């Protein structure tokens, strides 16, 4: 466990940032009165998610690796963070659905049906807690691994070689 202390910390931070984002979406009406804008504005979370991975891998490099991090070390650290986020995702969905935004699913279903974007049955099949838990448990780790691959490339730092 001690070996993955930094990854656990950043997995928890990522989940906290995600929950704050969900709260902001709700408070700005993206889960209710402005639900028509939700599909667009929810994408603004992507740069924030990437930033969390940048901070996480910089922390890993500085704290655990004495300022020297190979691509492999950075990538593997990011993968571990991604797996932790994947494990925590169902809990994040539960908190969002029951505490932060308990009416989101019914609002999304009503909006989709009222605007002839989908049928009632299709909307109910898509906008529900079970489906969102499945999606987040798959999507979060996949996107995390892709993000880790890119971020690790830019943050790798080779050990200095002595010039004699």
Q: What is the largest CA-CA distance in the chain?
A: 74
Structural domain count of the chain: 1
Burial class from Cβ neighbours inside 10 Å (0-12, 13-18, 19+) for residue 98 reads exposed
16 belongs to a structural domain: yes
162 belongs to a structural domain: no
Per-residue pLDDT tens digits for 27-50? 999 999 999 999 999 999 999 999
119 belongs to a structural domain: yes
124 belongs to a structural domain: yes
Per-residue pLDDT tens digits for 62-112? 999 999 999 999 999 999 999 999 999 999 999 999 999 999 999 999 999
Range of the domain at 132: 2-155
161 belongs to a structural domain: no
6 belongs to a structural domain: yes
164 belongs to a structural domain: no
User: For residue 41, what is the enclosing H or E element?
Assistant: helix 38-41
**pTM, entire model:** 0.92
160 belongs to a structural domain: no
């Amino acid at each position: 466990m001690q070996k993955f202390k930094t990854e656990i910390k950043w997995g928890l931070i990522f989940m906290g940032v995600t929950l704050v984002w969900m709260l902001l979406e709700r408070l700005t009406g993206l889960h209710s009165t402005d639900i028509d804008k939700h599909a667009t504005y929810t994408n603004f979370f992507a740069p924030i998610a990437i930033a969390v991975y940048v901070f996480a891998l910089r922390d890993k490099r500085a704290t655990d690796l004495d300022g020297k991090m190979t691509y492999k070390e950075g990538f593997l650290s990011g993968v571990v963070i991604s797996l932790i986020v994947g494990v925590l995702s169902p809990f994040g969905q539960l908190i969002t659905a029951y505490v932060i935004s308990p009416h989101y699913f019914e609002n999304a279903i009503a909006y989709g049906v009222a605007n002839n974007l989908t049928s009632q049955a299709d909307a109910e099949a898509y906008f529900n807690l079970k489906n969102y838990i499945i999606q987040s448990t798959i999507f979060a780790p996949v996107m995390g691994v892709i993000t880790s691959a890119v971020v690790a490339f830019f943050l790798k730092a080779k050990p200095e070689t002595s010039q004699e």
